[in-house]
């Protein structure tokens, strides 16, 4: 472990990839955490770096992620670049002994992600996958109810993620060689991850994907090559426990804008009761049991933010602000010299399932999912 884990100095964090997710989630989260400081930023776009100097108040910038990962003045990196660049950057971070949180999907396929996981594990650094929705208060409370037995034996898991997005170009996200897959890797992979966390391992899946929008025009009206990734993804699955799972995601659900957050509904039906998480109202859970229809229940205060975090749950939009808790977990793991949750192992297992969805659809059959356990 690097110096930051063994002294009282602040954890010196660098951002690699200064785009949307860093601006919305990670930089505000670092600002909130008194144990961390943003010391450097890397991006392939020098013009954006110039802007970020002003936006984020930093002076140290570079276009070279490999050089940044070798910098002894940096303890930890947040990798928030397009999907195809995650693997080489993570391997450089492991070589430089940097703690790392990497955006999902960790890579373009499970083979690549396994290599990243092993490199990080063997380097002895903290590694974390940015699976945001595990941190929603209602998801944490749902997990608590499930694991404490309040819902009885879990029987069904169900997830819907419906977005109403424009049908213009998604940039790098719409090409298989840069993104790996579309809605499946961008959206459904989060829901695969929290299903594994709630329900335990999946043993078999049957999946399907589809593409409807050609996306040959950029938002500012220029022509571009058509998309070759899915904009709808789905799977059904069997968990080792015997429980069943059903997932559907789309970016083409007209009328599901919901202030930019879209529609998200995930639920578990147990032998004693049902519990529902919804992204647009993350501080409330729906609970129901036989004879009592689903009804809203406020999430208890202890689940509204991580223990010790200075974040005020009453501030900001609830569907935005829980995203800052990822960095809190990452820095906590570094300071407390423990593994982060979710780790790269979780990122690998979600990727194994997502890859099986594509394989299943190509071969039109169920696929066994052999998950990794160390």
Ligand X SMILES: NC(=O)c1ccc[n+]([C@@H]2O[C@H](COP(=O)([O-])OP(=O)(O)OC[C@H]3O[C@@H](n4cnc5c(N)ncnc54)[C@H](O)[C@@H]3O)[C@@H](O)[C@H]2O)c1
Point out which residues bind ligand X (CB under 6 A).
16-21, 42-45, 48, 65, 80-83, 85, 103-104, 130, 132, 186
Structure tokens at 299: 């999430």
Which residue in the block uniquely carries the two structure tokens 């039109």?
364
Q: Residue 363 Cβ, how far from ligand X at the closest point, in Å?
A: 26
Considering beta carbons, is residue 133 or 232 the nearer one to ligand X? 133
d(CA 230, CA 209) in angstroms, rounded, equals: 6
Q: Residue 208 Cβ, how far from ligand X at the closest point, in Å?
A: 21
Considering beta carbons, is residue 33 or 103 the nearer one to ligand X? 103
Helix (H, G, I), strand (E, B) or coil at 134: helix
Considering beta carbons, is residue 16 or 146 the nearer one to ligand X? 16
Considering beta carbons, is residue 78 or 243 the nearer one to ligand X? 78
- Closest residue to ligand X in the complex (CB): 19
Q: Residue 364 Cβ, how far from ligand X at the closest point, in Å?
A: 28
Q: Residue 196 Cβ, how far from ligand X at the closest point, in Å?
A: 16
Direct distance between the N- and C-terminal alpha carbons of the chain, in angstroms, rounded to an integer = 19
What is the DSSP code string of 309-372?
----TTSS-HHHHGGGHHHHHHHHHHHTTS--SS-HHHHHHHHHHHHHHHHHHHHTS-EE----
Q: Residue 288 Cβ, how far from ligand X at the closest point, in Å?
A: 28
Angle among Cα 364, 373, 304 to the nearest 5 degrees reads 95
Q: Residue 105 Cβ, how far from ligand X at the closest point, in Å?
A: 7
d(CA 119, CA 113) in angstroms, rounded, equals: 10
Q: What sign does the dihedral 307-309-315-319 (CA atoms) show? A: negative
d(CA 228, CA 180) in angstroms, rounded, equals: 10
Structure tokens at 178: 């840069």
E strands within the chain?
Answer: 11-16, 36-42, 61-62, 76-79, 99-103, 127-130, 154-162, 202-210, 232-239, 244-250, 263-270, 274-278, 284-289, 292-298, 367-368
Considering beta carbons, is residue 65 or 318 the nearer one to ligand X? 65
d(CA 117, CA 349) in angstroms, rounded, equals: 11
Considering beta carbons, is residue 154 or 264 the nearer one to ligand X? 264
Considering beta carbons, is residue 154 or 215 the nearer one to ligand X? 215
Q: Residue 305 Cβ, how far from ligand X at the closest point, in Å?
A: 18
Considering beta carbons, is residue 42 or 120 the nearer one to ligand X? 42
Q: Residue 328 Cβ, how far from ligand X at the closest point, in Å?
A: 15
Considering beta carbons, is residue 55 or 302 the nearer one to ligand X? 55
Helix (H, G, I), strand (E, B) or coil at 186: helix
d(CA 111, CA 108) in angstroms, rounded, equals: 8
Q: Residue 17 Cβ, how far from ligand X at the closest point, in Å?
A: 4
């Amino acid at each position: 472990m690097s110096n930051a884990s063994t002294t009282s100095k602040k954890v010196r964090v660098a951002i690699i990839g200064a785009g949307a997710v860093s601006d919305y989630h990670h930089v505000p989260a670092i600002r909130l955490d008194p144990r961390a400081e943003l010391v450097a930023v890397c991006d392939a776009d020098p013009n954006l770096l110039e802007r970020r100097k002003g936006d984020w108040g930093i002076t140290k910038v570079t276009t070279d992620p490999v050089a940044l990962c070798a910098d002894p003045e940096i303890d930890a990196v947040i990798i928030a670049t397009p999907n195809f660049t995650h693997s080489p950057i993570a391997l450089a971070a492991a070589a430089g002994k940097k703690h790392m949180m990497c955006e999902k999907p960790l890579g373009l396929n499970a083979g690549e992600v396994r290599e990243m996981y092993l490199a990080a594990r063997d380097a002895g650094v903290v590694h974390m996958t940015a699976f945001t929705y595990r941190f929603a208060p209602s998801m944490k409370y749902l997990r608590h109810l499930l694991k404490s037995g309040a819902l009885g034996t879990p029987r069904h898991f169900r997830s819907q993620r419906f977005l109403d997005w424009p049908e213009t170009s998604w940039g790098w996200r719409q090409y298989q060689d840069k993104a790996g897959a579309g809605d499946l890797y961008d959206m459904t992979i989060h829901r695969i991850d929290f299903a594994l966390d709630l329900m335990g391992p999946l043993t078999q899946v049957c999946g399907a994907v589809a593409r409807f929008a050609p996306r040959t025009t950029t938002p500012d009206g220029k022509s571009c090559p058509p998309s070759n990734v899915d904009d709808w993804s789905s799977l059904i699955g069997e968990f080792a426990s015997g429980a069943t799972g059903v997932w559907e995601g789309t970016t083409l659900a007209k009328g599901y804008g919901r202030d930019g957050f879209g529609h998200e509904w995930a639920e578990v039906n147990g032998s004693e009761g049902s519990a529902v998480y919804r992204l647009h109202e993350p501080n409330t859970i729906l609970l129901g049991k036989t004879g009592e229809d689903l009804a809203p229940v406020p999430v208890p205060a202890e689940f509204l933010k991580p223990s010790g975090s200075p974040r005020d749950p009453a501030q900001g939009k609830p569907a935005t602000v829980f995203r800052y808790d990822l960095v809190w977990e990452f820095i906590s793991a570094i300071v407390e010299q423990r593994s982060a949750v979710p780790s790269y192992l979780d990122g690998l297992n979600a990727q194994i399932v997502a890859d099986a969805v594509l394989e299943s659809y190509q071969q039109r059959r169920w696929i066994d999912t052999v998950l990794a356990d160390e």
